[in-house]
Structure 1
Amino acid sequence: MSVIQNSPQNILTARARLGEGPCWNSEEQRLYWVDIYNHRVHQFNPATGDNQFFDVGEVVGCIAPAGTDRLIMALRDRLAFLNTQNGEVTPIIEIDHTYPATRFNDGKCDAMGRFWFGSVSANEECARLYHYDLDGTLNVMETGLTISNGLGWSPDQKTFYLTDSRRKTIYAYDFDGASGELSNRRVLINLMAESFEPDGLTVDQEGCLWSAMWDGWCIIRFDPVGKEMMRVPMPVQRPTCCTFGNNDLKTLYITTASIGLGEAEIQAGFYSGDLFSLPTAVPGLPTYYFKG
Structure 2
Amino acid sequence: MTEVLKYPVENVLKARARLGEGPIWNSNQKLLYWVDIYNHRVHQFNPATGDNSFFDVGDVVGAIAFAGENRLLVAQRHHLAFLNTQTGLLTPILETEAELPDNRFNDGKCDAQGRFWFGSMSPEKPQASLYRYDPDGSLHLMETGLTISNGLGWSPDQNTFYLTDSPQQKIYAYDFNSVTGSISNRRIFVDLTSESFYPDGLTIDSEGYIWSAMWDGWCVIRFNPEGEEILRINLPVQLPTSCTFGGQDLQTLYITTASVGLSQAQIENSFYSGDLFALQTDITGLPIYNFQG
TM score, norm. by length of structure 1: 0.98
Contact 1:5 1:281 in 2 (8 A): no
Query: Is residue 198 of structure 1 aligned with residue 212 of structure 2?
Result: no
Instruction: Give the equivalent residue in structure 2 for 1:180.
Output: 181
Instruction: Give the equivalent residue in structure 2 for 1:252.
Output: 253
Give me the whole-angstrom Cα distance separating, in 1, the residues matched to 2:7 and 2:124.
41
Query: Is residue 141 of structure 1 aligned with residue 142 of structure 2?
Result: yes
Counterpart of 1:256, as a letter, is: T
Instruction: Give the equivalent residue in structure 1 for 2:270.
Output: 269
Contact 1:3 1:282 in 2 (8 A): no
Contact 1:78 1:93 in 2 (8 A): yes
Contact 2:149 2:164 in 1 (8 A): yes
Shift of 1:127: 0.5
What is the correspondence of 1:18-57 to structure 2 with a 5 Å cutoff? 18-57=19-58
Instruction: Give the equivalent residue in structure 2 for 1:215.
Output: 216
Contact 1:4 1:281 in 2 (8 A): no
Shift of 1:124: 1.2
The secondary structure found in structure 2 opposite 1:267 is: helix
Counterpart of 1:82, as a letter, is: L
Closer/same/farther in 2, CA of residues 76 and 114 from structure 1, 3 Å limit: same
Give me the whole-angstrom Cα distance separating, in 1, the residues matched to 2:7 and 2:173.
30
Contact 2:4 2:231 in 1 (8 A): no
Instruction: Give the gaps of 5 or more residues in structure 1.
Output: none
Give me the whole-angstrom Cα distance separating, in 2, the residues matched to 1:21 and 1:43.
12
Shift of 1:100: 2.4
Give me the whole-angstrom Cα distance separating, in 1, the residues matched to 2:204 and 2:97.
31
Contact 1:73 1:79 in 2 (8 A): yes
The secondary structure found in structure 2 opposite 1:37 is: coil
Instruction: Give the equivalent residue in structure 2 for 1:63.
Output: 64
Shift of 1:86: 1.4
Give me the whole-angstrom Cα distance separating, in 2, the residues matched to 1:184 and 1:55.
40
Shift of 1:8: 1.4
Instruction: Give the equivalent residue in structure 2 for 1:285.
Output: 286
Shift of 1:99: 2.0
The secondary structure found in structure 2 opposite 1:266 is: helix
Contact 2:4 2:234 in 1 (8 A): no
Give me the whole-angstrom Cα distance separating, in 2, the residues matched to 1:156 and 1:24.
21
Contact 1:213 1:238 in 2 (8 A): yes
Give me the whole-angstrom Cα distance separating, in 1, the residues matched to 2:243 and 2:235.
12
Give me the whole-angstrom Cα distance separating, in 1, the residues matched to 2:210 and 2:4.
13
CA RMSD of aligned residues (A): 1.1
Give me the whole-angstrom Cα distance separating, in 1, the residues matched to 2:126 and 2:184.
20
Instruction: Give the equivalent residue in structure 1 for 2:114.
Output: 113
Contact 1:5 1:279 in 2 (8 A): no
Contact 2:5 2:231 in 1 (8 A): no
Counterpart of 2:99, as a letter, is: T
The secondary structure found in structure 2 opposite 1:38 is: coil
Contact 1:3 1:281 in 2 (8 A): no
The secondary structure found in structure 2 opposite 1:265 is: helix
Equivalenced residues, count:
291
Counterpart of 1:224, as a letter, is: P
Counterpart of 2:87, as a letter, is: N
Deviations 1:4-37 (A, max 9, x none): 5522110001000000000011111110000000
Counterpart of 1:284, as a letter, is: G
Instruction: Give the equivalent residue in structure 1 for 2:123.
Output: 122
Counterpart of 1:238, as a letter, is: L
Instruction: Give the gaps of 5 or more residues in structure 2.
Output: none
Contact 2:5 2:232 in 1 (8 A): no
What is the correspondence of 1:91-102 to structure 2 with a 5 Å cutoff? 91-102=92-103
Deviations 1:18-72 (A, max 9, x none): 0000001111111000000000000001111100000000010000111100100
Deviations 1:107-154 (A, max 9, x none): 010000000000011231101000101110000100000100000000
Q: Once the two structures are aligned, what percentage of the paired residues are identical?
A: 66
